[in-house]
């Protein structure tokens, strides 16, 4: 394989030491470990502000629908409110 290009990454001394130790532990060079991780690890992207807002709107709609449902008892509605306060 003809490898000529380089990628530079800025890290703290502690990060570099940790990565070097992990590479050695698993039989990689530091470059090999980085390549292995980029080729084999799942990258998780966080949601955008807009995606979070849309998700929250859906959740709020469901909760408000439950709280306005005349078939639910006051005790059940109080429990829903109590549980929601844990996450707000």
Q: Are residues 26 and 63 in the same domain?
A: no
pLDDT of residue 44: 79
Q: Are residues 29 and 55 in the same domain?
A: no
pLDDT of residue 20: 95
Whole-prediction pTM value? 0.46
**The token pair that represents 33 in the structure block:** 């470990």
Domain of residue 21: give its range: 1-44
Q: Are residues 57 and 37 in the same domain?
A: no
Q: Are residues 31 and 10 in the same domain?
A: yes
Kindly write down the DSSP assignment for every residue of 11-64, as one continuous string. Answer: --HHHHHHHHHHHHHTT--HHHHHHHHHHHSPP-PPPPHHHHHHHHHHHHHHHH
Q: Are residues 35 and 68 in the same domain?
A: no
**What are 8-34's pLDDT values in tens digits?**
999 999 999 999 999 999 999 999 999
CA distances from 5 to 1, 2, 8, 83 (A): 12, 9, 10, 54
Percent of the chain at pLDDT > 90 equals 60
pLDDT of residue 52: 85
Tally of domains in the chain: 2
Q: Are residues 40 and 67 in the same domain?
A: no
Q: Are residues 2 and 20 in the same domain?
A: yes
Number of other residues whose CB lies within 10 A of the CB of residue 84: 13
| Region of 44 on the Ramachandran plot (φ > 0 left; ψ -120 to 50 alpha; else beta) | beta
Q: Are residues 23 and 1 in the same domain?
A: yes
């Amino acid at each position: 394989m003809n490898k000529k290009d380089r990628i530079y990454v800025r890290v703290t001394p502690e990060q570099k030491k940790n990565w070097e130790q992990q590479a050695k532990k698993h039989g990689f060079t530091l470059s090999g470990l980085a390549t292995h991780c980029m080729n084999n690890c799942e990258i998780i992207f966080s949601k955008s502000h807009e995606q979070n807002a849309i998700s929250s709107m859906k959740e709020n709609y469901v909760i408000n629908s439950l709280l306005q449902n005349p078939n639910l008892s006051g005790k059940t509605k109080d429990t829903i409110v109590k549980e929601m306060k844990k996450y707000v």
